[in-house]
Chain A
């Protein structure tokens, strides 16, 4: 078993085009998806993130604020999961109904394993 971070990225409010009924159905589908992950013991944690925040550019101790551009793709949430391998983690990410009705990107990244201390 290996741990993965799955980052959810969208441009702006990805549910903008959906009617309230569609949004409700969408939220319910996601609830079922997350519930299923929890039942199978694969979910370590999942949280949504606010759309705004700050981006800081740093270079050798010199920091510059921004630019924070909401029209660009931003991370709106993460899933912390366990899976057998990258392939399964990708399967899990694709099963997320978040982008079955809308557009967005998902980044699946294995958490680097520490080799241990000798």
Chain B
């Protein structure tokens, strides 16, 4: 019985992830963007009802169809019951309130194409520039990816209360700004798409680089970011070279996700990763996306980063990496994004193509930049360069300074190991 129950809740969990966002999107169109929470509630209730019924009667043959049916009825009942209580700013709501148009409307809005389009509209609604970036990410995870508030809080190393506040704020903003449920067109599209891609990339980086949360949740964040970008890419009116470039970047990095940890859950840098652990299928997929991205003659930050990632993914060993090629890409990147972090990464590459000494000279130029005060990679990277330059003492001093930073335990362990490694060579 317990096994069965576990099995059923696993099945619902699975359904939840895959169907939640679709249903919330369709229902947001139905109720209008000022009623996003109502849409979430209806889906949540349908899922709970499924859990309850299935636990006693077993899982039906078509669980997805079952959930959709329950959600549909709930939605229609709410529209009829609360006909005059709320303002439903949608034509769909109007059609669902008439006996004549109810059935045809339900059939129409639950076709695969409409569902896919609604998910895309939902992405643009959640990532509307009038919503703050923090809230955009939280709302996207909650409504499109089916993450619970505790899960989002865990992923962002913050309290559930905090996440809840962000969600409330986001929904309020959307309501107040009367944001339409649509994919922008024309000139507006390009601008809005770039802000959507930024949010997706942020979401991905939370998963990829976050120092918090369990590995599982973080991997899921990466997967969700990729899934959202794939929804965008699959729409012929919206797909762009930049979307494919971002997809390539995220897919190639995800291919290395699990190899960044050793068996004791210690973080490993690129040099020490077991390349046979890299996910070859994902690398293939990433390179395929990159091909698409480079078909048009556009070059964005995503294109360059993805190509750098592709260089790493296709190098058989760390030593045989095409550092010259990567350096050229960084030189290109600097023209778009001259941030200290890009300069820091470029310095590492420079140490490979010329000498650690040269790299340190470059770093000297950006020394004292406030962006680095609590940026761990600055300390570890600089330490490594000094170590290679036979300045072991300075290297160890930098690492000791890094240990003072507010850093998660796993990273501290990595620094401790480095200190030991360097000390042996002292």
Contact = CB atoms under 8 A, between A and B. Distances in A.
Interface of A: 30-32, 34-35, 38-39, 43-48, 77
Interface string B70-106: 0000000000000000000001001100111101110
B335 interface: no
Most buried by A among B100, B105, B107, B108: B100
Contact of A47 (B91, B98, B108): B98
A45 B98 contact: yes
A39 B107 CA distance: 11
Contacts, number: 35
Contact of B100 (A32, A44, A77): A77
B305 to A, nearest CB: 42
Contacts of A31: 103-104
B99 A38 contact: no
11 contacts: A30-B100, A31-B104, A34-B101, A34-B104, A35-B107, A38-B104, A45-B95, A45-B101, A46-B98, A46-B100, A47-B99
User: Is the contact region of chain B dominated by helix, strand, or loop, or is it mixed?
Assistant: helix
Nearest to B103: A31
Q: Please provide the 9 A-B residue pairs with the shortest distance between their CB atoms, ordered closest to farther.
A: A35-B104, A47-B98, A46-B100, A34-B104, A46-B101, A31-B103, A48-B99, A31-B104, A48-B100
Contacts of B101: 34, 38, 43, 45-47
Given A38-B101, A48-B99, 9 more contacts: A31-B103, A34-B100, A35-B103, A35-B107, A38-B105, A39-B108, A43-B101, A45-B95, A48-B98
Contacts of A35: 103-104, 107-108
Contacts of A46: 98, 100-101
Given A34-B104, A35-B108, A39-B108, A45 B99 contact: no
A26 B341 CA distance: 69
Contacts of B91: 44
Most buried by B among A30, A35, A77: A35
A72 B91 CA distance: 34
Nearest to A79: B100
Nearest to A45: B94
Nearest to B98: A47
Contacts of B107: 35
Interface string B98-142: 111101110110000000000000000000000000000000000
A117 to B, nearest CB: 25
A47 B104 contact: no
Contacts of A44: 91
A9 to B, nearest CB: 15
Contacts of A47: 98-101
A40 B98 CA distance: 18
B76 to A, nearest CB: 15
A77 B100 CA distance: 9
A38 B99 CA distance: 14
B396 to A, nearest CB: 71
Contacts of B103: 31, 35
Nearest to B109: A38
A44 B98 CA distance: 12
Nearest to A47: B98
A38 B108 contact: yes
A48 B97 CA distance: 11
A38 B100 contact: no
Contacts of A30: 100
Nearest to B111: A39
Contacts of A45: 94-95, 98, 101
A6 to B, nearest CB: 12
A77 B98 CA distance: 11
B95 A38 contact: yes
Contacts of A39: 108
Contacts of B98: 45-48
